[in-house]
């Protein structure tokens, strides 16, 4: 006869008399058993979760590698045709199969970094205002939602707004300073990009500022520091890595923007002589000419342009991560 177990009793046969003996369970043993079962389930769930995260992480790596390999394979014809002259060539003539992306590379970097330079003061001001001065209340919540809404507006809307509002203003300003009053160009597209990328650095900066321990700020106030001195000597040093990460996130957003820039940059294949000159970016060239690529070399050259934009974005992000590490360690 085997031992049997019910909810409250353990029933087992006596070895000497053969009679059935009933005894109560040991509460400590039951509790230990339950803890072991619970621990086993938790370990199993944690293993499943870890494996899922591993699969998703590697899937992301494979996806990025697949995009890069696809761009390289589709660009081989252009690479064979133009060689390394593709990168520093100044002429873009699809009719004669002459492709040089230097004007577009220069236009991309000019618009992105100029937009970043314009947006940084506004981003930091919004982050400090919402994170330190007015962290709670319906008015800060309204402002926070409004800033975040800027990132949700479609880029083509920014393009229409730029054509209707910014281009006449810039044209009037150019006529006053003696420049050719065109209105379309690097400067106008940088202004629109600056507005578009403000939410990225501002939102991340606000979150980082709100995470500063209150005891650090209270210690500074107890020593007689003013609000500005606390911001300068406590908050900004404590959050500098997060603020710099927001700047790099904004830069990555600016490098890949297409529609808004395409509508106001002027779309010329010449090297811009100044920030008020018309120009082109790599993304805008792809958007304008991809449907017009009527022969294989032309199409391959445009795909190689996407490859160059991909590599430039990756390189700038890697440099940004190294700078963030340097800022953090210092």
Q: Are residues 142 and 268 in the same domain?
A: yes
Q: Are residues 221 and 273 in the same domain?
A: yes
Long-range contacts from 224-229, C-beta under 8 angstroms, 24+ separation: 227/132
From 17, 42, 77, the end of a domain falls on 77
Q: Are residues 130 and 107 in the same domain?
A: yes
- Give the pLDDT confidence of 93-150 residue by residue, as tens digits: 888 888 999 999 999 999 999 999 999 999 999 898 888 888 777 777 888 888 888 8
**Residue percentage of the chain with pLDDT more than 70:** 88
Number of domains in the chain: 2
Q: Are residues 28 and 156 in the same domain?
A: no
Range of the domain at 228: 83-329
- Compute the Cα dihedral for 133, 136, 137, 143 and give only its sign: positive
Output the pLDDT for position 16: 57
pTM: 0.80
Q: Are residues 245 and 123 in the same domain?
A: yes
Question: What CATH code is carried by the domain that includes residue 291?
Answer: 1.10.3720.10
């Amino acid at each position: 006869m085997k031992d049997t177990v019910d909810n409250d009793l353990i029933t087992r046969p006596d070895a000497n008399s053969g009679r059935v003996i009933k005894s109560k369970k040991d509460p400590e043993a039951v509790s230990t058993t339950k803890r072991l079962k619970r621990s086993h389930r938790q370990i199993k769930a944690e293993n499943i979760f870890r494996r899922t995260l591993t699969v998703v992480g590697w899937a992301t790596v494979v996806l990025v590698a697949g995009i890069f390999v696809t761009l390289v394979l589709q660009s081989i014809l252009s690479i064979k045709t133009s060689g390394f002259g593709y990168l520093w060539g100044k002429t873009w003539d699809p009719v004669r199969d002459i492709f040089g992306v230097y004007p577009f590379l220069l236009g991309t970097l000019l618009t992105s970094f100029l937009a970043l330079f314009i947006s940084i003061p506004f981003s930091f001001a919004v982050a400090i205002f919402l994170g330190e001065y007015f962290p709670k209340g319906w008015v800060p919540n309204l402002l926070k939602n409004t800033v975040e809404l800027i990132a949700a507006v479609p880029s083509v809307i920014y393009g229409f707004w730029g054509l209707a509002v910014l281009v006449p203003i810039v044209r009037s300003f150019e006529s006053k300073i003696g420049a050719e009053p065109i209105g379309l160009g690097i400067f106008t597209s940088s202004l629109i990009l600056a507005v578009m990328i403000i939410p990225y650095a501002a939102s991340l900066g606000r979150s980082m500022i709100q995470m500063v321990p209150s005891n650090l700020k209270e210690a500074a106030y107890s020593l007689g520091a003013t609000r500005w001195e606390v911001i300068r000597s406590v908050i900004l040093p404590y959050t500098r890595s997060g603020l710099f990460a927001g700047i790099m996130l904004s830069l990555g957003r600016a490098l890949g923007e297409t529609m808004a820039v395409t509508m106001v940059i002027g779309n010329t294949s010449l090297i811009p002589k100044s920030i008020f000159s018309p120009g082109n970016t790599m993304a805008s060239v792809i958007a304008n000419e991809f449907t017009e690529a009527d022969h294989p070399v032309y199409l391959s050259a445009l795909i190689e342009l996407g490859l160059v934009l991909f590599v430039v974005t990756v390189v700038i992000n890697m440099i940004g991560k190294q700078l963030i590490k340097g800022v953090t360690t210092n």
